[in-house]
Chains A and B, each alone.
Chain A
Amino acid sequence: MRLLVSLVCALPLAAFAQDAKKEIEKYQQMLGEGSPAELWEVQGEELWKKPQGPKKASLERCDLGLGPGKVAGAYARLPRYFKDTDKVQDLESRLVSCMTELQGRSPKEATQRVFGNADRPAEMEYLVAYIVGQSRGHKMAVPNSHPKERAAYELGKKVFFYRAGTWDFSCASCHGETDKRIRMQDLPVLSEREGAQKAYTTWPAYRVSNSQLKTMQWRINDCYRQMRYPEPEFASEATIALTHFMAVTANGAPYRGPGTKR
């Protein structure tokens, strides 16, 4: 009898949870259809072509890995090793290199405001939106053959599973098991192909809760904030390695960003 009562009580709740999940999926689908990210892409292209810095140069000769000025498909092949800097770089750190080399800006000036807000987005966010938009539909093909790329991948994997911070978390604490969620939010397993392909390919993204386009460096930064860690340095070796590990894991899937998120 008691079992029956609890079954009867549990059923409408389970149905309600299912409905809520369906509503969220519908909302996400709606968000994916027309994206405010396109406005960022247009402004980013203008900034890409605008002469700036002491050298009064634009970024149009910037080499994102496919040769100077080649933007189409470049993001689907990042992070990668760059010979001129002798480093594995993600999109954002590569943009900083181009700002300093081509435009003559100091690294300090180029990185002083990399995360904007709804009232005043950052130059970096506009540029990132433009460049990643030029990889939409391109298959992820992030190289992992240069020794420094392989080292970044191995380090990134270690960073993913490293446990520390005020609350003892690693990335895997939340993104390590399938079909888990925080409150109602589903959590992709980013260390495995299926999860990485599903999630990595939708970032950077326009985030409705921030009314703004957010970059991958920001995504990682805000994860660490919520993990109760201290703050990672912008475009540090640890964050680039982590990005490289997730990007290589997502290889083979078409890049779908910049998407729209809750």
Chain B
Amino acid sequence: MRVLTFALALAAPLALAEPSARHVEEIHVRDFHTKGIVKREAVAQDGILRICTITNDRPPAALAQVLEADQLKTIPFPAGSLMGDWKRGENIAQSGRGMTWTDPAGTPNGGSCYNCHQLAAKEISFGTLGPTLLAFGKKRGSGADVQKYVYGKIYNAKAYNACSQMPRLGWSGTLTEQQIRDLVAYLLDPASPVNQ
């Protein structure tokens, strides 16, 4: 209840000149249209993005916990080992294709990982929006808990950090279960170039 009251209070405009969050969303829904595989509905916000926008990505800790618990429920963790094939994972990490309105339906999507993260030392063309993942598995091992964390983080990053800038790659339908397992192996397999 307190969380709800807080969220409502935040939703009110802070100054008269500022348009309300609801008005801003209405303008987006009005001013964007479906094109190719991307539907107009994607410009509307779900509850968590609405709160992240209103709080400048810094929701109070109690609210963040509730949001993260909600997001965690969206992750269908597969049973058994989550380690796929790191070689396939490397291609997925390299590829930035897919999910735009110019991508034909049915083509395999990439994970765009290198757009934001450093992974294998040999790849020098990497982005810096996300933290470096160099030697990720070497530092953490590849036990069941780590596998589960990495799988979940890729499937829905907001389950671990409510207003993370990282896309919810499984939840959004970008990556398949097998693709995420291959990325888990790319990060954790001792033979992967990430850990060399």
| Closest-CB distance, A216 to chain B (whole angstroms) | 16
- Asked if A232 lies at the interface with its beta carbon under 8 angstroms from chain B, I say yes
Task: Tell me the A158-203 residues at the B interface (CB within 8 Å).
Answer: 158-159, 161-170, 173-174, 177, 179-184, 187
Chain B contacts for A169, CB-based, 8 A? 165, 167
Chain B contacts for A20, CB-based, 8 A? 124
A183 touches B19 (CB 8 A): no
Complex alpha-carbon distance, A162 and B45, angstroms: 9
- Asked if B188 lies at the interface with its beta carbon under 8 angstroms from chain A, I say no
Chain A contacts for B53, CB-based, 8 A? 161-163, 170
Chain B contacts for A233, CB-based, 8 A? 31-33
B32 touches A230 (CB 8 A): yes
Contact partner of A180 among B25, B39, B100, B128, CB < 8 A?
Answer: B128
- Asked if A226 lies at the interface with its beta carbon under 8 angstroms from chain B, I say yes
Complex alpha-carbon distance, A177 and B131, angstroms: 13
Among listed B81-89, B114-122, B140-148, interface-contacting one: B114-122
A166 touches B116 (CB 8 A): no
A17-B127 contact, Cβ under 8 Å, with A168-B167, A232-B32? no
A225-B31 contact, Cβ under 8 Å, with A166-B174, A170-B53, A174-B129? no
- Asked if A231 lies at the interface with its beta carbon under 8 angstroms from chain B, I say yes
Chain A contacts for B126, CB-based, 8 A? 183
- Asked if A13 lies at the interface with its beta carbon under 8 angstroms from chain B, I say yes
Residues of B within 8 Å of A, CB-based: how many? 45
A225 touches B99 (CB 8 A): no
A228-B38 contact, Cβ under 8 Å, with A155-B19, A173-B129, A182-B115? yes
Among listed A68-76, A78-86, A91-99, A234-242, interface-contacting one: A234-242
Complex alpha-carbon distance, A20 and B168, angstroms: 32
Question: In the complex, how many residue pairs between chain A and chain B have their CB atoms under 8 Å apart?
Answer: 127
A151-B49 contact, Cβ under 8 Å, with A165-B42, A180-B129, A233-B33? no
Chain A contacts for B121, CB-based, 8 A? 9-10, 13
Chain B contacts for A159, CB-based, 8 A? 24, 27-28
- Using CB atoms, name the residue of chain B closest to A227: B100
| Closest-CB distance, B43 to chain A (whole angstroms) | 5
Q: Mark B20-38, 1 if CB is under 8 A from A, else 0.
A: 0100110110111111001
Complex alpha-carbon distance, A69 and B21, angstroms: 40
Chain B contacts for A236, CB-based, 8 A? 30-31
Pairs A-B, 9 closest by C-beta atoms: A167-B167, A236-B31, A231-B35, A238-B31, A158-B24, A230-B32, A182-B127, A163-B49, A230-B38
Binding site for B on A (CB under 8 A): 9-10, 13, 16-17, 20, 150-151, 154-155, 158-159, 161-170, 173-174, 177, 179-184, 187, 224-226, 228-233, 236-239
Given contacts A150-B17, A166-B42, 4 further A-B contacts (CB under 8 A): A155-B24, A174-B129, A231-B34, A233-B33
Binding site for A on B (CB under 8 A): 17-19, 21, 24-25, 27-28, 30-35, 38-40, 42-45, 49, 52-53, 56, 99-102, 114-116, 121, 124-129, 158, 165, 167-168, 172, 174
Q: Could you list some 12 contacts between A and B, CB below 8 A?
A: A13-B121, A158-B21, A162-B25, A164-B43, A169-B167, A173-B129, A180-B128, A182-B115, A232-B31, A236-B30, A237-B27, A238-B27
